[in-house]
Amino acid sequence: MVAKTAEENCYRIESNQLDVYSAAGLEEDMTSIFQKGVTSLYLDFSNVEEVSSSVLGLLLYKKMIYRKQGVSLYLINVNPQIQKILKILNLNGYLLL
């Protein structure tokens, strides 16, 4: 689901569609990364074209949990359509870098 990039603490989402079926795999990968002791986590959304509400909920939940542990979570390289959705939901300042 996610692959390490050359940049530190940056992981690229390999799927172009994040839905209820891929949410469990994404959560497992994020938990695995978190257990490595990172202080910040950047998810590269350059391949992602669609995001379901269940995945947005997962990202918000993980952001809240990570913040309590002193870890930052941000989405980078988000396409304009998804940015527009995040802006409508007033989440762009919360999730985007």
The 10s digit of each residue's pLDDT in 11-33 is 999 999 999 999 999 999 999 99
Q: How far apart are CA 73 and CA 14, in angstroms?
A: 18
Query: Which residues are paired to 12 by β-bridges?
Result: 3, 44
Q: Is 74 helix (H, G, I), strand (E, B) or coil?
A: strand
37-67 tens-digit pLDDT: 889 999 999 999 999 999 999 999 999 999 9
User: Taking the domains of the chain in order of start, what are their residue ranges?
Assistant: 2-95
Given a cut of 80, whether residue 97 has pLDDT beyond it is no
Mean pLDDT of 67-93: 94
What does the H/E/C string look like for 12-34? EECCCEECHHHHHHHHHHHHHHH
Domain 2-95 of CATH type 1.10.1740.10: no
Residue 32: predicted pLDDT: 92
Q: Which two tokens stand for residue 46?
A: 């350059």
Residue whose structure tokens are 């269940």: 54
Residue 89: predicted pLDDT: 93
